[in-house]
Amino acid sequence: MFDSKPHAAHWGYFEALVKGGRVVGARGFGADPHPASLLESTADAVHSEARIDQPYIRRGWLAGRRRGALRGGDAFVPVSWDEVTRILAEETARTRAEHGDTSIFAGSYGWASAGRYHHAKTQLQRFLGMGGGFTSSVHAYSYAAAQTLLPHVVGTNEILLGRVTDWHAIARYAKVMVCFGGLAAKNGLVNSGGAGRHDYKLLMQRARQAGLRFINISPFQGDTEAELEAEWIPIRPGTDAALMLAMGHVLIDSHRYDEGFLSRCTTGFEQLRDYIMGEAEDGIAKSPEWAERITGVPAQRVRQLVLDCTVNPTMLTAAWSLQRADFGEQPYWMLIALAAMLGTIGKPGLGVAFGYGSINGMGTPRQELPAVAGPGIRNPVSLSIPVARITDLLERPGEMLDFNGQQIQLPDIRMVWWAGGNPFHHHQDLNRLLRAWSRPETIVVQEPWWTSVARHADIVLPATTTLERNDIASSSRDRFVGAMHQAIKPVGRARNDVDMLADVADALGFRDRFTEQRDERAWLRFMYDRWRQACLPMGFEAPEFDRFWRQGHVEVPEPDFGEEYTQFADFAREPEEHPLDTPSGRIELFSETIAGFRYADCPGHPAWIEPREWLLAPRARAYPLHLLTIQPATRLHGQLDTGRVAAADKIEGREPLLLHPADAKERGLEAGMVVRVYNPRGACLAGLRLAPGLMRGVVAMATGAWFNPEVPGQPGSLCLHGNPNVLTADIGTSSLGQGPSAQSCLVQVERWDGPVPPVSVHAPPPLEGRPVARAPARPAGT
């Protein structure tokens, strides 16, 4: 018999099945129509050989090889919790005293846990903030360029992250949905903070059954599910802005644009119009024929697409991936301009929004309620960098960085403290990062597993997984709040992030301020009761904490489906009464603010700016394949890479590379082969998988395979496992957004001849006093 415990992860609510003190499986949440297959990897991750069993310190750090020392190749020395707590307190105090509070970088991210209390980033920043402050980062790798741009254009990021027009409204009123970057079903498996229901796929299917016609504009036909019967318009990667401009040209040239809406609700159309028609600046008319040479989309198909959008009620959307490219701000800005020209913004079920194909919960009908929130505090240090500029931060102390109209002077980082994230997954150009990673004196990592960031740390603190502690799962995109019951005791000497930080705070003299003299249960009750009180004025009365904890979840009722939500409806109806939070109160098709920044790489209106890397660039002669890095279906970012679901998808233990059969034949390659993918930034091995639905000249790899350099600690070493970020460029999207531009990347692919080196990254690194472990071929139980 199994004991079962209610729990939650970013990939869904579930019951953890426990036997003999071990997690042995997971059962999907009863209210979830599509439990994620990722649940199958839960036990594998908790009991993985890659778990960190106790605190460790890098041998070279103990010997004084600190600043300037390449990390990743040293063995680790085991230490006690008492010893590592003392060392951390002393090192933190010394760094602050000698170099100031800005010399400490809290390099954390938010995907470690769906739980809101044991949220590693929140707790670490609370600790460092109480100690005096820290240099931080803003925005997210997923949509950083858009996060900066959209407040200038529509006054909010709700169009990107929040309550966008819901699927019921789209299904009822729209006849066409044009999807730049598709609507990938796999992305609907996850949601930050967890999901009681995976409704994303079901809602799309219902919209199709209601007669909605989908158009997928993407280099990959598989970016929409076959059952949606989407029309596929292949497009060269990175050229969406050119296609949108050409659509705008057709609307203007044929006088099909909505002059009334543009006059009432926008500003700056005249400047954009002159640019599109070639009457200003570069003198080039952005016609369909002009766009055909850039995008590969026939001019006649562009004209037909515009006709489809003008004779049918239309919803426009773009995946988050579109803006993770050179000058990624431009297609997002121009898509808003297109919706404004069509006059559909604010009309029931129509208009524009971003992210429907990027995460679960976008467009799911729900009441507007807050999420349960953890105990954050204000950072006394006001210095923040754009999240994707970490390497610049480490490489360029004292230099200036342009960002959203500001100039940020980069501090000299002496200490990096990381919890709840992995830059060797999220970041681009890992060989450049590895060199920059040598600059700090001390790098501290809190992590359950020997991931790449732990292997490249100085001080490694073993953190519990979510199943080894109690917490509350909550997301503003989901109708459920979940109780996360501790299922097992901590593995090895692992401790939760709060307890380990509280001990260091104690050594530094502020334990009581950090904990507020509450234990775990008291904090959970406090957070839940605060959320419950916040919901009351909004018309929802949640049960008291004890009842919630017993029953394992709270369900917020679905809204009345007769009242579908459409974003910007009030504004479109009465723009003077409901102005946007922009300088003009309107949609800014030309932004005086952005124009005033005088950025050559982001002018005052949407524009076509040729990418640095794309298929028509001179560099494509030597590297003729455009690499797209996609979100995996078999794990969450790098999480669960040790699990059976990810293992079953790999080819000879490597991450698959998708390639068109004709491109494979040209190179003498066959499905199942191990291949080498390379460019001047680096190289990795991958397993070849043929994909007829991929454009010629385009390859795709999922991110998240743990970085496994053949020679640890050596920049430029071949990644044996297939981490595509050894290939991607670490360049900001523009001076405005400074987001990651991973989707602008050219590579070449060749057959790997000779013995295939073993993947070793799922076993611990060299640990002093122990033999080097070897990773099994696949997790036990597969």
Any alpha helices (H) in 458-515, and if so which ranges? 497-508, 511-515
What is the C-alpha to C-alpha distance for residues 428 and 730, in angstroms, rounded to an integer? 5
CA 563 to chain CA mean position, Å: 31
What is the C-alpha to C-alpha distance for residues 14 and 11, in angstroms, rounded to an integer? 9
- Under 8 Å CB-to-CB from 743, ≥6 apart: which residues? 237, 238, 321, 322, 324, 325, 328, 628, 629
Token output for 149: 């741009």
E-strand ranges in 74-225 read: 76-78, 104-106, 136-138, 176-180, 213-217
Q: Is 156 exposed, middle or buried (CB count within 10 Å of its CB: 0-12, 13-18, 19+)? A: middle
φ, ψ dihedrals at 419, nearest 5°: -150, 135
- Under 8 Å CB-to-CB from 560, ≥6 apart: which residues? none
What is the C-alpha to C-alpha distance for residues 413 and 403, in angstroms, rounded to an integer? 19
What is the C-alpha to C-alpha distance for residues 132 and 415, in angstroms, rounded to an integer? 14
What is the C-alpha to C-alpha distance for residues 128 and 505, in angstroms, rounded to an integer? 9
Residue of 109, 332, 356, 752 with catalytic role: 109
What is the C-alpha to C-alpha distance for residues 230 and 176, in angstroms, rounded to an integer? 10
Active site residue 111: yes
Q: How many other C-beta atoms can be found within 10 angstroms of the C-beta atom of residue 54? A: 17
Active site residue 109: yes
E-strand ranges in 485-618 read: 553-555, 587-588
What is the C-alpha to C-alpha distance for residues 240 and 221, in angstroms, rounded to an integer? 16
Residues composing the chain: 782
What is the C-alpha to C-alpha distance for residues 112 and 35, in angstroms, rounded to an integer? 20
Which amino acid, residue 414?
R
Read off the DSSP letter of residue 34.
S
What is the maximum span of the chain, computed from C-alpha positions, in angstroms?
77
- Yes or no: say if 420 and 124 are a contact pair by the CB < 8 Å rule: yes
- Yes or no: say if 460 and 52 are a contact pair by the CB < 8 Å rule: yes
Query: Which residues are the active-site residues?
Result: 109, 111
